[in-house]
Amino acid sequence: MVFRYAVGGFGLVVMAFGGFLLVREPEPWRIAGWLAGGVLVHDGLVAPLVIAVAAVAAAAGLRLRGVARAALIVAGSLTVIALPPLLRPGGVANATVLPLDYSRNWLLAMATLAVLTAGYVAARAGVRRVARRRAAKPQG
């Protein structure tokens, strides 16, 4: 319980520091707009998608609902973080501002997430299979 209060207190200190930095900005409404946009994207896109996939998985009787939700949450978070460079208009005047191929890198991150998720699911299924075989084996 003490640890929970310590983490909560640390969170409050970090939030207060962030609020202090926000107020010191010359145009705090621009940052507040981005923060509000993040909440809207999460509540309007990411959360409903995760809920829909979880509902479909539950209706299909899949036992790996938590894994699918976790992968979708990570994919949604990566997508929200990658949106500014992905949606940037055309080229930029200074080539060093956004020098990477962000679309390709985002696709690579999504593919890596899919491979890691599939690997985790396969490993978990293998462990369960071995455990079932050991449990079914007659003790001698």
Number of neighbouring beta carbons within 10 Å of residue 92: 11
What's the pLDDT band for 6 if we cut at 50, 70, 90?
Answer: very high
Amino acid 90: pLDDT: 67
Instruction: Give mean pLDDT, residues 34-38.
Output: 85
pTM over 0.85: no
Reduce the DSSP state of residue 45 to 3 states and report it.
helix
Q: Are residues 101 and 86 in contact, defined by beta-carbon separation less than 8 angstroms?
A: no
* pLDDT tens digit sequence for 59-92: 888 766 688 878 988 998 898 888 888 887 666 6
Residue 85 makes CB contacts below 8 A (sequence gap 6+) with 98, 100, 102
